[in-house]
Chain A
Amino acid sequence: MKRKLPHPPRENHPALWRSFAELENTPEFAHVIEREFPGGTARNGSGLTKRDFVKLMGASVALTALTGCRRPEAQLVPFTKGVEWSVPGKFLYYATAMPIRGGAMPLVASTVDGRPTKLEGNPLHPASNGATDAFAQASVLDLYDPHRSRAVKRGGRDVLAGEFEAYLAQISEKRPDGLAFLVERKNSPTRDRLRGELEQRFPGLIWSEYEPLGDDREAVTAAFGPGVRLVPKFERADVILALDSDFLSSASEYGPAYAAGFYPRRNPDQLGAPMNRLYVVENHFTCTGGMADHRYRCKASLVGEFARRLATRIVDLTNHSGLATLLGAAPQTKADFDEKWIAECAADLARNPGRSLVLAGGQQPAWVQGLVFSINEALGNHGMTILGVADEAPPAAPLGRLVEAIRGGAVKTLFILGGNPAYNAPANFALRDLLTRVPEVVRVGLFEDETSAVSEWHVPAAHYLEAWGDARTFEGTYTAIQPMLMPLWGGVSELEVLARLGGNAQPSGLELVQQTYRILSGAASTDPKDAVFLQGWSEFLRNGFLPGSQATAKDLAFRATEVVRLAEAAAPVEAGIELVFLQSSSVDDGRYANNSWLQETPDFETKVTWDNVALVSPATAERLGIRANNFGLLQKVTALNHEVDFDMVADLITLNAGGVAIEAAAIVAPGHADDSISLALGYGRKGVSALFENVGFDAYPLRTSESPRFRTAISVSGTGRTYPLARTQEHKSMEGRDLFREATRERYKKNPKFVQSMGLVDAHNPPTTSLYEHPRLTAPEQWGMAIDLNTCIGCSACAVACQAENNVPVVGKAEVRRNRDMAWMRIDRYFAGSPENPEMLAQAMLCQHCENAPCESVCPVNATVHSEEGLNLMAYNRCIGTRYCANNCPWKVRRFNYFDYNQRPLEELYWGPLAPKGMADSLKMVKNPNVTVRMRGVMEKCTFCIQRIEEAKISRMVQAGPRNKYDVPVPKFQTACQQACPSDAIVFGNIADPKDRVTRLRQSDRGYVTLKYLNTQPRVTYLARIKNPNPAMPDAAMVGMANGPAGGHH
């Protein structure tokens, strides 16, 4: 019998106390009891103490599990006593959400023994299809990051947390002038509510929001009036044109949600929903560009001019007067475009009025966005493929206004909640220097960073998995952010700080959110005795959202005159080389700089890890004298191959503009626009934590508030020095091997079985038979996977999900450079076509679970064997590490632990036993307890998430009870990669079941296995990519030609 916990008494004074100090409950005393040894000897710096761990875990379980129905007492329940709601080793799932710029990503957190280990999308949520992106997958690692700040600091010295609380109380009471807030853009109704209260309490308060990579709302507000947000409906669009808009990847705020609308329309076999056509105009390869049917290379600064020329064509075709007026006002720039490309693209858009969709990147100048809105208006897309919804978030002052106020000396106390503006604010604001002029800067952040260095106060922030919160998703649904555990290092939440300033002396995040919930849900009270409230609140937490709380639809009333005004204010673009500021696919705007999972996730295009690099087109590189790292790439093997530069060293160049110079390593990027250099933001941070310091190059010094997307008139010079890069894939060409297969829709219709004629030896080889009789695979479940290359966008969410699920270690830059990355799942990226303007092919690669596996036959100790269910198993205990299996794997998906990556610090791997042993305690907490943490010297690889398979099989046995277990179907489950995939490109299931989706996909005409001629009988089927080119386009003949013009017949 499990013991039920007694409910604690509800009095304000504790019934039991250990001293008078506790009874009085002063902050000093709280600090004293926080420490195991008040004398100050305890607490090693590296992690939690064991006592902390038990305390926190117990507390958090009590908190999270009880909150639905009880007052928010946090109980300390050590796991030495079993607790009724927790079965050791079993996951508990809680709905929560990750705040993202202007919204939230609905999540379900898997917690075990009170600690979250894995995040998945919340499939119940209307704004989610159950998918996530790489950032969400990796955010759980940030929670446990041992580099997170732990102590409240004032003037650089540790102070007690109570001192900060007293400080807040003092401000709240004295109501001083000159109070300002600088916060991240969120869409949190509770924060908005508290902000409203503060604005009443502190008249003249400045509330400023800054996001380095946020969408500029200026254009939307100008074009449609305030309080409106645009929601593109990709599922309704037949023709999509993306102008410098990477809407599919995480680079867009709602990547997974947009991908969910986009991918169903890419299925060539779907009846009733014809395949859409995607045109992309961009300067560098994005995920979206890789998916494009037609891609046009264009400098980011010329995208506006491109849109203007396109609009001219559309005016010719539609005679739309509003657009014509706007064109008269738009600035004209000299540029040499492929006019036929523009004309045919415009014609295709105009042929599909109300079913087309034109998107501009959120960082493009406001007039460009206005022009694009205008084009959509002319095409009749508003209300059809683009909907307007009410934007409840009250407007905030842009950073510029706050900067003016600081310059004017109007700001006396500045609260910086989250973000890192001293690092990432536009260079022309010189915010780091400005902050020193503010008498009191209070900074609440996860890390002690550049902003903390110039702040009077640094207060550790609570991670979103540690604190109560709420958010609206992009379509407005009210979403819960539940904490999974108590703050590991005493972080405070933004809401608590705001509430304290508002005069709440003992704020509880839970109560703050409950009050907002009450208002939004229309509940009468938040009294826990109120059954109606209680039921609704529990459901809210269980489902993670409030049903029916979507933002109300708003008609889009296009205000042409406002847009004309924007255009009139714009100037033509300067010629010369431009620098384009990208969102990093690894560290976003720099906020994940300390996340080793993301740092080691290769950039989808360059496959560079642990760095950002300046991307330059082949022609520009030649002109600037930048040596091509590993160029000469698209030659066939049959030609003399000069691809010898495998040392992964890049030239260092200097980028100079307006007297400011930065250095960056430059590599040649196929498909990049000429006279354009792309550099991701968020790197090159100095003076931060030890591990990720000096990684990459800081592009912020060249970025100004006028033009956040690009900087023109850059002068580039060489430094004569080189810089080492760690790339997981150097080779760019598929070498004619047809590993990735594609065709145009036309060709597919003509010859549905085209994949069978591709693949070098595969197509011509007679059917291979095995001389050796293999054991029959007899189990009723035979696991297999299908990967649809047509919808895979190469976003790497699956790879990070795999890392999180399977405890895949991080090896560090030096080891990646030695080709020792440990990824079980990787995205192979090839280019096909000319180096100037190739196609990009992304192929998810993982263990193929060959039925006739070459790795199994060569292992001398039987450490890798086959299961009756067709799984290629790895017995880590048995493995002695001969590495023969990895050598003999044609897909090279096996990974060897060359060092004790889990036990030794990455920078001291070569010190062997002299290095300290063991990982930070907090990092142990992120490990999936159902997956072995591998030691050095053993081989590892994808298991098809065998822990999930076994969990499902066990639950079937439980369900079956005394019956034959095979009469009960295995409960539905997904592999980690499949679950994370935003475009449903990965399907896993039982191939022995003819009704299973994976079986149907394996039998699809587009289905093929790679390297079929080896007769290894892979269990992973790829579905060929189908492109939908417009035959009238000038580049139509080059589309869908990755396998050569003959399509496989070599």
Chain B
Amino acid sequence: MAEGTVISVEESARAAVERQPLVAPGRTMGWISDYVSSIVESQSPRWWWVAISITGSLTLLLLACLTYLVATGVGVWGNNHPVGWAWDITNFVFWIGIGHAGTLISAILFLTRQKWRTSINRAAEAMTLFAVICAAIYPTMHVGRVWMSWFLIPVPNANGIWQNFRSPLMWDGFAVLTYFLVSVLFWYTGLIPDLATLRDRATTKVRKFFYGILALGWRGGNRQWRHYEMAYLLLAGLSTPLVLSVHSVVSFDFAASVIPGWHTTIFPPYFVAGAIFGGFAMVLTILIPARAVYRPLGDLITVSHIDKMCKVLLFTGSIVGYAYLMEMFMAWYSGNPFERATFWYRVTGPYWWAYALMILCNVAMPQLLWFRFFRTHVIWVFVIAMFANVGMWFERFVIVATSLTRDFLPSSWGMFHPTWVDIATFAGTLGLFGTLFLLFIRFLPMVCMFEVKAVLPSANPNPGGKH
């Protein structure tokens, strides 16, 4: 009896300490290839057509809005004096923030040997790219003379005028562009073995041709694998600082200014934490429905994965909450009346509701994730992730727009009111994001097959080993 108790305690302790299997038991390598490829190979389901017709329409709306914007002037948005940047830069920072999770999962978690990343990294990276594309639309299109945007690029020109490298906008441009290029390379490199799988399984000539081109002649030989792994490692190493730098640099747009509410040294870490928070929220927002639609995916993206992502959400959300507190504290502690007024205005001014919403979504709601129940209940997780999405948008709005509504001279204070074009343009980028993601689901393997196979128990050369 006593001995039996000891054994059962030992077993349960071992069970608790032992890692949960990353793939549900019973799923073989063959099943993984078959199932993940089948999503791409089967006919488009009806829901997909419905979904893409909605997101496609919104994408067309985006095109229409941008055409209207460029043809008419920035005035079709609600931007004004003193609010020179409003939804445009809010949306830019929002999207670029979302674009953080993918590369973080792929690169940092790769370097830190977090194997649970394998089943989500492909989708997360794709989402990153699509988010960065959505983000890039704003700084490109929000300028007054879009046709002169090439002035931002340091090319030799007859004017003999060089760019102003003191401007954070320049750094921003470089940072985002670099991040995008490296992320594309990283994502594509990771895709090559799976593209080869699709090529090999292809039954039509067209598919053979396209996947054949994209697979770059991958045959799966030892040498190729050696080169591949080295390249992937190097790219992961390159991407890792970028994950941290891109949002730090984005935050310089504000931190390097003199405007109270912008001029804050805490911004780089605060923005990075916020970006990871927002990015993971978006990964969850996308994968939870995907799991629901393609039910067997739940065996690859398990509740345990969701639980882990929730922990990241909780951690970064807490950092963000700390940053909010610290901003307030510093405004008070600095003794600078302009800073104090700005932050007090955030809480009590006409935009108090935006601030309150931000605190609710980004600080209060994630606290539920302390409880395992919420972390493992996908509906709750989805709701909390949606809150985080909304909250992160409002965080950027509070920082970007409301700081501008009231700065130094009370004579110049004013409010911002979005126009229908502001709203439609934002809806349009959501549509573009959705469209790209839906196309991704249909044409590329959503889960990194070869990496997931590597974390199967059957891939372990030392099965049952406890060390």
Contacts and interface: CB of A to CB of B under 8 A. Distances in A.
Does A pair with B? yes
Interface string B179-217: 000000000000000000000000000000000000000
A643 B414 CA distance: 11
A894 B80 CA distance: 11
B350 A884 contact: no
B364 to A, nearest CB: 22
B348 interface: yes
Contacts of A818: 75, 78, 80, 417
Contact of B148 (A739, A880, A897, A899): A880
Nearest to B335: A761
B73 A730 contact: no
A888 B260 CA distance: 10
A858 B167 contact: yes
Contact of A860 (B170, B337, B407): B170
A909 B408 CA distance: 31
A860 B164 contact: yes
B257 A886 contact: no
Given A637-B344, A819-B414, A937-B145, A761 B167 contact: no
A735 B341 contact: yes
B169 A882 contact: yes
Contacts of A93: none
B151 interface: yes
Interface string A907-925: 0011111000000000000
A552 interface: no
A883 B144 CA distance: 8
A647 to B, nearest CB: 8
Nearest to A1014: B258
A821 B81 CA distance: 8
Contacts of B75: 815, 818, 820, 898-899, 909-910
Contacts of A1033: none
B143 A828 contact: no
A896 B350 contact: no
Interface in A891-949: 891-892, 894-900, 909-913, 935-939
B337 A760 contact: yes
Nearest to B80: A819
Contact of A881 (B143, B253, B337, B345): B143
Given A637-B344, A882-B169, A729 B411 contact: yes
Given A819-B80, A880-B151, A1011-B408, A643 B73 contact: no
B82 interface: yes
Interface in B221-241: none
A819 B167 contact: no
Interface in A824-881: 826, 828-830, 843, 845, 854, 856-862, 878-881
B144 A734 contact: no
Interface stretch (B104-112, B155-163, B446-454): B155-163
Nearest to A815: B75
A734 B410 contact: yes
B164 A828 contact: no
A645 to B, nearest CB: 9
A641 interface: yes
A639 to B, nearest CB: 9
B349 A641 contact: yes
A1016 B404 CA distance: 19
Nearest to A640: B348
B337 A761 contact: yes
B84 A883 contact: yes
B259 interface: yes
Contact of A730 (B149, B335, B338, B414): B414
Given A733-B410, A896-B81, A912-B68, A858 B144 contact: no
Interface string A639-666: 0110110110000000000000000000
B85 interface: yes
B408 A637 contact: no
B321 interface: no
A936 B164 contact: no
Nearest to A729: B411
Nearest to A644: B350
A644 B411 CA distance: 15
Given A641-B348, A912-B68, A890 B407 contact: yes
A753 interface: no
B163 A861 contact: yes
The B interface is mostly helix, strand or loop, or mixed, namely loop
Contact of A936 (B144, B161, B344): B144
B345 A637 contact: yes
A731 interface: yes
A638 interface: yes
Given A736-B337, A862-B163, A638 B71 contact: no
Given A884-B84, A938-B145, A912 B73 contact: yes
Contacts of A879: 144-145
B169 A646 contact: no
The A interface is mostly helix, strand or loop, or mixed, namely loop
A960 B336 CA distance: 52
Interface string B80-103: 111111000000000000000000
B438 interface: no
B79 interface: yes
A939 B341 CA distance: 28
B325 interface: no
B81 A819 contact: yes
B13 to A, nearest CB: 56
Given A830-B410, A909-B73, A936-B144, A896 B84 contact: yes
A880 B164 CA distance: 13
B76 interface: yes
B46 interface: no
B135 to A, nearest CB: 16
A1050 B409 CA distance: 18
Contacts of A729: 411-412
Contacts of B412: 729, 828, 891-892
Contact of B152 (A815, A826, A861, A913): A861
A890 B83 CA distance: 12
Contacts of A896: 74, 79, 81, 84, 144
A890 B350 CA distance: 21
Interface string B51-79: 00000000000000000100111111011
A201 interface: no
A887 B408 contact: no
A937 B259 contact: no
B162 A862 contact: yes
A721 B272 CA distance: 49
Given A646-B415, A937-B143, A857 B167 contact: yes
Contacts of A913: 71-72
A640 B414 CA distance: 18
A217 interface: no
Contacts of B411: 729, 731, 826, 828-830, 843, 845
Contacts of A939: 144
| Max count, chain B CB within 10 A of own CB: residue among A826, A882, A910, A913 | A882
A737 B340 CA distance: 12
A861 B408 CA distance: 26
Nearest to B170: A860
Nearest to A761: B336
Given A638-B344, A856-B164, A881-B143, 10 more contacts: A737-B338, A761-B336, A845-B409, A858-B168, A884-B169, A884-B253, A892-B409, A896-B79, A896-B81, A909-B75
Minimum-distance CB pairs A-B, first 10: A881-B144, A937-B144, A912-B72, A898-B75, A883-B84, A892-B412, A828-B411, A819-B80, A860-B169, A937-B145
Interface of A: 637-638, 640-641, 643-644, 646-647, 729-731, 733-737, 739, 760-761, 815, 818-821, 826, 828-830, 843, 845, 854, 856-862, 878-884, 886-888, 890-892, 894-900, 909-913, 935-939, 1011, 1014, 1016, 1050
13 contacts: A637-B341, A760-B338, A819-B81, A857-B164, A858-B166, A859-B167, A861-B164, A862-B163, A884-B84, A888-B257, A890-B409, A936-B144, A937-B146
